[in-house]
């Protein structure tokens, strides 16, 4: 079994390709069930955001697992399978874990340091866990370590201080625009829309919010309790966009919601920010409208990178350290069955000898429980140092040789390991 990641992001895929790969909620199950049904992929998580699509997997064959993903993605997105293979980044083993930790720590984001990605990854993991697409001990362990890594990066570096999101970068760029009035329209009340509204209100803008589900918009307005936010019917979209200098659109629509036939000529410049993927605004023919997309914001992001250089270097060091810690953890897990088996062998031997002694009359039956406890404690003390030393070499190249030697010396087979694991789990359940 090995860890795998298939990745499409702003780094390797154009905006148009990422639009095609935007997976709807009803398609998540189709993709995950397809690749898991093969039995090649044992666990999977799908992370789909406005800037990336990541498939995290545990599988027994990397090539076959990736081919399954490409086949289903091509079907769902109507994209060319060969193009998907050419564009995708694929990660295996150590590099897969390293990539996941980078993503969780927002070091691979369009806007480095944004905090959205952590919540999106957590939501994707919980969805897979709830639907039995992954386990808490498999990919769940990876996600737990990834969040721990992200927390250390946030706390020990300046990468996420004064956090920047796509929404905040978009709103901040309006400071360079000469507007007649500090008013803006926001379309959509997803996470991006909510962040955009909050940033606009903080800058003193009056905001008109349009959302297909008007009640959801009203509930959001009530939660903010801010009179500078007004909720309008979505049916007013055409009128409002032709009366606005500044517009932000961030819906989950599969098709553009603002098209050329909706645009009236007006005598002033208009600034439309398309924060959606797929895009909400088609290419408009009006030269008085400047459209800014997610990818256009990359220039602003690059300008913000210089002052974060030292923090980034430290952040990457932390990720490297935490990836190493994760693999140490895996190695300790790999020796755990041997440790449990040694303890079980010792316990079985002691019980057998006690039973023989009782049968032969060397010990009274009433002593059995106390003697078992005493011998059990003796073996715990005896095995403490070997157990500690075995764990200490779990991250070294010696581990494989030591494992093989222990199996040979104590005649431990894979069946013994499974049996000891089962007995240990049963005993643990009885003690709860």
257 and 363 housed in the same domain:
no
Residue 50 designated active-site? yes
Per-residue confidence (pLDDT) for residue 303, from 0 to 100: 65
Among 161, 196, 224, the domain boundary falls at: 161
Catalytic member of 50, 69, 134, 149: 50
Considering the domain architecture, whether residues 8 and 138 belong to the same structural domain is answered as: yes
pLDDT of residue 306: 62
- Are 176 and 152 in a shared domain? no
Is 267 in the same domain as 178?
Answer: yes
Cα separation, 281 vs 273, whole angstroms: 9
- Cα radius of gyration (the chain): 29
Residues 143 and 224 in one domain: no
9 within some domain: yes
> Is residue 14, in this structure, part of any structural domain at all?
yes
Asked if residue 82 is part of any domain, the answer here is yes
Are 26 and 149 part of one and the same domain?
yes
Do residues 193 and 150 share a domain?
Answer: no
Residues 26 and 150 in one domain: yes
Kindly state whether residue 321 falls inside one of the protein's structural domains.
no
**Residue 312 within a domain:** no
Q: Are residues 179 and 138 in the same domain?
A: no
281 and 342 in one domain?
Answer: no
Domain that includes residue 413, residue range:
331-384+398-431
* 134 shares its domain with 56: yes
- If you count DSSP H runs as helices and E runs as strands, how many of each does the chain have, helices first? 16, 10
Residues of the chain with pLDDT under 50: 428-432
State how many domains the chain has.
3
Whether residue 338 sits in one domain with residue 254: no
Distance CA 103, CA 109 (A): 7
Backbone φ/ψ region at 135: left (φ over 0), alpha (ψ -120 to 50), beta: beta
What pLDDT, on the 0 to 100 scale, is given for residue 373? Answer: 85
The CA distance from 291 to 282, in Å, is 9
Residue 340 lies in a domain: yes
| Strand pairing report for 289-293 and 270-274 | parallel
User: What local confidence, expressed as pLDDT, does residue 428 receive?
Assistant: 44
Write the DSSP string, 231-288: EE-GGGHHHHHTT-SEEEE----SS-SB-GGGPPP-SS-EEEEE--SS-SB-----TT
């Amino acid at each position: 079994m090995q860890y795998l990641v298939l990745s499409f992001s702003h780094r390797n895929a154009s905006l148009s390709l990422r639009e095609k790969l935007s997976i709807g909620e009803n398609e998540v199950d189709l993709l995950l069930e397809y690749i898991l049904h093969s039995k090649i992929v044992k666990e999977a998580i799908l992370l789909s955001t406005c800037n990336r699509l990541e498939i995290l997997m545990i599988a027994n064959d990397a090539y076959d697992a990736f081919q399954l993903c490409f086949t289903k993605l091509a079907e769902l997105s109507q994209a060319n399978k060969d193009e998907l293979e050419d564009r995708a980044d694929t990660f295996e083993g150590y590099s897969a874990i390293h990539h996941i930790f980078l993503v969780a720590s927002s070091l691979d984001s369009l806007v480095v340091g944004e905090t959205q990605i952590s919540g999106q990854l957590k939501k994707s993991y919980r969805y897979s866990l709830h639907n039995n697409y992954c386990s808490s001990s498999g990919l769940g362990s990876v996600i737990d370590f990834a969040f721990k890594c992200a927390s250390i990066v946030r706390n020990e570096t300046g990468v996420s201080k004064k956090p920047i999101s796509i929404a905040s970068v978009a709103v901040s760029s309006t400071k360079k625009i000469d507007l007649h009035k500090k008013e803006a329209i926001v379309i959509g009340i997803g996470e991006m829309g909510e962040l955009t509204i909050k940033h606009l209100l903080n800058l003193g803008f009056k905001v008109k919010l349009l959302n297909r589900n008007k009640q959801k918009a009203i509930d959001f307005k009530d939660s903010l309790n801010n009179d500078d936010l007004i909720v309008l019917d979505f049916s007013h979209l055409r009128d409002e966009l032709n009366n606005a200098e500044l517009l932000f659109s961030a819906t989950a629509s599969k098709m553009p919601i603002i098209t050329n036939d909706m645009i009236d000529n007006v005598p002033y410049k208009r600034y439309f920010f398309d924060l959606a993927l797929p895009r909400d605004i088609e290419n408009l023919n009006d030269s008085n409208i400047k459209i800014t997309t997610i990818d256009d914001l990359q220039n602003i992001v690059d300008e913000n990178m210089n002052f974060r250089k030292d923090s980034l270097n430290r952040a990457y060091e932390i990720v490297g350290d935490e990836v190493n810690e994760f693999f140490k953890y895996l190695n300790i897990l790999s020796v755990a069955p041997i440790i449990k088996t040694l303890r079980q062998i010792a316990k079985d031997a002691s019980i057998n000898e006690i039973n023989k002694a009782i049968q032969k009359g060397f010990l009274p039956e009433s002593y059995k429980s106390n003697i078992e406890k005493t011998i059990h404690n003796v073996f715990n003390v005896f095995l403490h140092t070997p157990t500690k030393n075995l764990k200490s070499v779990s991250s070294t190249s010696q581990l494989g040789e030591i494992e093989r030697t222990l199996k040979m010396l104590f005649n431990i087979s894979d069946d013994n390991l499974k049996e000891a694991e089962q007995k240990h789990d049963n005993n643990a359940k009885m003690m709860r």
